[in-house]
């Protein structure tokens, strides 16, 4: 059955921090980062920011979060700020941390994952392992909690991606050569019946100020 995203138009975009040159937002799950190709896929973080900040111009989004992922996202409100922030992401000068609930009991305490993958041309947007033609994704992980408040068998994990590939954390979590434990609620790589959302949240984002270059850090606890 095809998934139909919930109607999020009545839910306002949460602003974490704002300055004339950029804004940091808390993206809700199932909201697109940028407009989709279909006419009915225009509700997204970028367009909401345009509506909120009349001086915003240019592409705005310096990076993206998967539609199903929630949490911290930064957008440049001026062309210069957007170029600066985009360059920081391209040159891997940005620190990003995610928190997730994964299916099952993770036995190790921490680890490092390096897997190359690409889009499945027969089943977009699913990503598949491809050591030959795929792009390498690199992720560090750390177990935070094995008990939790849920009665499900799950583990709370912190993911620190060192690259920014499409679905990187979801693939690295689910694949047997990675963590081997899909993220709870993952409709592509796990069991969607376990939760009404993907339990993956961008909890920390740190980067250089796009105007004066000082280091900024933002933290946002996971809502699950």
State the residue for tokens 């998967």. Answer: 66
- Count the neighbouring beta carbons within 10 Å of the beta carbon of residue 163: 12
Q: CA distances (Å), 26 to each of 81, 83, 161, 222, in order?
A: 19, 21, 19, 11
Do 115 and 136 contact (CB within 8 A), yes or no? yes
Residue 66 annotated among the catalytic residues of the structure: yes
Q: 3-state class of 80 per DSSP?
A: helix
Among candidate residues 66, 147, 212, 219, the one labeled active-site is 66
Catalytic residues: 66
């Amino acid at each position: 059955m095809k998934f139909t995203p919930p109607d999020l138009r009545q839910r306002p975009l949460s602003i974490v921090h704002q300055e004339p040159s950029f804004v940091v937002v808390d993206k809700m799950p199932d909201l697109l980062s940028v407009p989709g190709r279909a006419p009915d896929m225009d509700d997204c973080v970028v367009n909401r920011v345009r509506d909120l900040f009349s001086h915003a111009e240019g592409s705005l989004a310096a990076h993206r979060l998967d539609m199903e992922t929630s949490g911290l996202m930064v957008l440049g409100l001026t062309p210069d700020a957007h170029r600066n922030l985009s360059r920081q992401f391209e040159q891997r000068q940005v620190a990003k941390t995610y928190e997730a609930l994964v299916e099952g009991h993770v036995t190790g305490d921490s680890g490092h994952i390096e897997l190359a993958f690409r889009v499945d041309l027969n089943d977009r947007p699913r990503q598949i392992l491809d050591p030959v033609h795929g792009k390498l994704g690199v992720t560090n992980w750390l177990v935070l909690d094995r008990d939790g408040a849920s009665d499900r068998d799950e583990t709370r994990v912190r993911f620190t991606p060192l690259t920014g590939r499409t679905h990187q954390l979801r693939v690295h979590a689910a694949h047997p050569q990675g963590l081997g434990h899909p993220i709870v609620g993952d409709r592509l790589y796990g069991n969607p019946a376990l939760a009404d959302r993907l339990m993956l949240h961008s909890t920390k984002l740190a980067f250089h100020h796009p105007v004066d270059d000082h280091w900024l850090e933002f933290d946002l606890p996971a809502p699950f």
